[in-house]
A and B are shown apart, each in its own frame.
Chain A
Amino acid sequence: MDFIAAGWMSLVSFILLFGFAVLYLYRKDHDTHKLMFALGMLPSALTFSIYTLEALGFFMPNILSDRLTLWGSIPLIICIFFILFNQIFFKKKEPTFIFKGFLFFFIISFILIASGIFTYTIFQISTQMAAILIITFSFVLLIRDRNLSGIFFIFAMICFALGGITLTEFVEHPSNGTLFNPLLCYFMSYIFLVLIVITSFTQEKAKGVGAYFSLKNKIQTVEKALQESQKNYQLIVENSRDAIMLTKPDGIISYLSPSCESVLGYKPEELIGQRPNIVHPDDSDFVQKFFSQALQGGSSPNLQYRIQTKKGETKWISHVFTPFKKDNRLELIVSTLRDITEIKLVEKELFEKVVTLEESERATLNIMDDFQDAIGSLLQAQEEIRKKNKDLQTNTEQLAMFNQELNVAREQLYLLNKDLEQKVQDRTSEIEKLLKQKDEFIGQLGHDLKTPLTPLNTLLPIIINREQDPKLVELLEVTIKNVSYIKNLVKKTLQLAQLNSPNDILVTIDFTLSAEIKKALENMHSTLEETGIIVESNLDDSIIVKADRLQITEVIDNLLSNAMKYTPPGGKITISTVQEQDSVITTIQDTGIGLSLEQLEHLFEEFYKADRARHDLQSTGLGLSICKRIVEKHGGKIWAESPGLGKGSTFHFTMKISDNKLNKPQQDFLLHNEM
């Protein structure tokens, strides 16, 4: 294969490759210049492929080859021309007629050349003129834009021109030249065109000729995307719950997003263009300090502090800010402000909870410690219990035996008890029966003693009245005295027996104590006059007692008659009543024979007589015993005092005063008192 043919073939391949690359670019941004450029290269590729075929020795009809050769350069020239024209005159806005004009010239030139009207000479002249114009325009653009693509373009155009010249020379004088020169020129021109395209892609913003080959839509898309992202940013900024703030280095707010109202409690327009101080006074100092430090350092920390809203509420704010610097100078501060009041509250609660939790944990640990100790001692105790249990088992067995024995004993005891109870009951009823019998016996004895005494007591006085013999009268008097003694003895014995009997019941009524004493003194009036004993009474007439009147009268009679009996003529008896709380003490004092200590000790015993040597038929020795019994039955006390024999004696007895002091003393239903 010929070297020249290989050169043409590789040029065709290069042009086609380049054309397709431009076509590919056209498909990306639909820039008509790229389509024009690709179409312009098509006839060139055709022309050069004819040259390739001729160089390979294939026969080509002259007319076709000549005309195709002519047409091969025209579209590219037209295209380049339009490009330059457009660059110079319509820099900013590209008119739509360019592509249509190109297509028109593209088709017209083809028809003209194909019909043979357009001759080689005209072609030569027009292409040379066009080349001069193109190169001129290129220089203008290069001067104006001063960039690499312009230089490459001039080189490309010069190479094209040189290609055309050398090719024409070879066609006209084939013997003088070779096809190597035009081939090299065309190769170089296409390489320069490729370089223009490459530089237009490497440059950020294509200028001049290169602008046609840079991707126009690339810029448009970027702009569109930029617009869209701006829109998105705006949407985000304006609809964000966080307030976004732009601050100038001097602290004046230049922008605030609408949500600042909900976050800071102020409307954006209230704060924009100002340097407001809304930080809580407590936090103000540290916030300012922090900001100045942070701005110098250029960091973007997260600061949390309190602010005061327009309404005076306190809010917690989280403030994230980023300073933007240009040439090491602060230009802008972008801040994001977030309301974290609720979070703070929750945080606080949480903190408190954690503290409580820690405390309880500590307590739990303590408890666990104690628990472990307790378990330790528990285990020890368990061991001990196990040991003790063993002992206990043996003990329990013994205990069971004891229990059995105990049960038997208990049963026996129960039976014994029952028996005892029965016995006690029997005894009690027996005693009751005996007591009844005793009462009955005493009653009967009294009756049987008193009945025979009745005729004696009645008839002896009659007999003594009728008897004339003084000796007999004397004997009768002794008899009467003894009968009287027996009568008294029987009467008093029975009375005492009756007082001691549990069947004896007191018949109590309210009466004036002093009245009864006065009555008793009246009854003794004659005797007192005979003996010349003086009676001094010191009685409280207001004292009313509730008692068995007959029995109390008997006590008074007894004590008074004793006093009279043992007081020598001319002596003195003092009787008095004194109230002491709810009781009355009656005192009968005499200036009589007095009492020895021994006598005082036995005075109230039954059948005790102070003077044993004296045979006293008037005293039964039962009077004071009866008095004691009566007083005690009334719940009172009786006692005697004496400084010694011959020094007189004093008798006291106490009685309860009646509750109804206002009541008049009742009258006894009996018509008289028995003496």
Chain B
Amino acid sequence: MKTILVIDDNSDVIISLKSGLEDEPEKYRVIGAQNGHQCLEILKNNQLPDMILLDIMMPKMSGWEVFDKLKENITWRNIPVVFLTARTDQIARKAGKFLGDDYIEKPFEISDIKSRIEKILTSKHHGKEVHNNNEKNYSP
């Protein structure tokens, strides 16, 4: 089961994702946070999620700031982050380099979200496996 941390100032979005993903309770568990501070609190309480879905346009602390904080921390650095946004014009796609692992445009389809999550998580897992295999190859 994968734990997904959703950060969005709009609680309706959190509810939508929670009900959409937890439709398959054996696969996903969704934790919601309505701002950056709440998100950092949750992470500090050692409840490390498998993936973070992060809204960009939020009051007080924007998604970019939260992203920077995550990358500053050693333990949080490796958690994959997928941005959620209704404003594609603000995504840094045009700068030629995208900071996060992916982004999803609002309004989204649950099926699309699920396939993206699977894709990212398997690629991460696969990377670890390859790494492990390499270790095995070196053992006597």
Contacts and interface: CB of A to CB of B under 8 A. Distances in A.
Contacts of A498: 89
Contacts of A671: 102, 119
Given A443-B87, A447-B87, A452 B94 contact: no
Interface in A433-487: 439, 443, 446-459, 461-462, 487
A674 interface: yes
Contacts of B72: none
A275 to B, nearest CB: 119
A383 to B, nearest CB: 81
Interface stretch (B44-52, B62-70, B103-111): B103-111
Contacts of A454: 10, 12-13, 16, 86, 106-108
B119 to A, nearest CB: 8
Contact of A447 (B12, B86, B110): B86
Interface stretch (B17-25, B28-36, B73-81, B129-137): B17-25
Contact of A674 (B16, B98, B105, B110): B105
B117 interface: no
A450 B86 contact: yes
B107 A459 contact: no
A507 interface: yes
Contacts of B12: 452, 454-455
A22 B100 CA distance: 170
Given A451-B106, A671-B102, A443 B89 contact: yes
A456 B19 CA distance: 12
A459 B93 CA distance: 29
B90 interface: yes
A674 B104 CA distance: 9
A89 interface: no
B135 to A, nearest CB: 28
* Residue among A446, A454, A458 with max Cβ neighbours from chain B (10 Å): A458
A458 B90 contact: no
Nearest to B102: A671
A235 interface: no
B87 A459 contact: no
B96 A453 contact: no
* Residue among B15, B17, B87, B98 with max Cβ neighbours from chain A (10 Å): B87
B21 to A, nearest CB: 10
Nearest to B13: A454
B57 interface: yes
Given A507-B94, A507-B96, A669-B96, A458 B87 contact: no
A188 B114 CA distance: 198
Contacts, number: 70
B13 A461 contact: no
Contact of A446 (B10, B15, B87, B102): B87
A671 B112 CA distance: 14
A461 B109 CA distance: 9
Given A457-B107, A487-B107, A451 B19 contact: no
B107 A450 contact: yes
Contact of A451 (B13, B102, B109, B119): B13
Contacts of B10: 451, 454
A458 B96 contact: no
A669 B57 contact: no
Given A443-B89, A462-B23, A507-B94, A455 B13 contact: yes
A461 B111 CA distance: 10
Contact of A458 (B93, B97, B108, B119): B108
A461 B110 contact: yes
Nearest to A459: B16
A671 B102 CA distance: 8
A453 B106 CA distance: 8
Nearest to A506: B94
A122 interface: no
A613 interface: no
A448 B10 CA distance: 11
B17 A458 contact: yes
A324 B109 CA distance: 152
Contacts of B105: 450, 674
A222 interface: no
Given A454-B107, A457-B109, A487-B107, A670 B16 contact: no
A458 B57 contact: no
* Residue among B15, B106, B107 with max Cβ neighbours from chain A (10 Å): B107
A63 interface: no
A458 B21 CA distance: 10
Interface string A81-105: 0000000000000000000000000
Contacts of A669: 96-98
A283 B54 CA distance: 127
Nearest to A495: B88
A505 interface: yes
A449 B119 CA distance: 29
B16 A455 contact: yes
B84 to A, nearest CB: 9
Contacts of A449: 86
Nearest to A442: B89
Contacts of B108: 454, 457-458
A271 B97 CA distance: 120
Contacts of A448: 86
Interface string A498-528: 1000000101000000000000000000000
Contacts of B89: 439, 443, 498
A674 B87 CA distance: 14
A439 B108 CA distance: 23
A453 B107 contact: yes
10 contacts: A447-B86, A450-B105, A451-B106, A454-B12, A455-B13, A458-B16, A459-B15, A462-B110, A507-B96, A669-B97
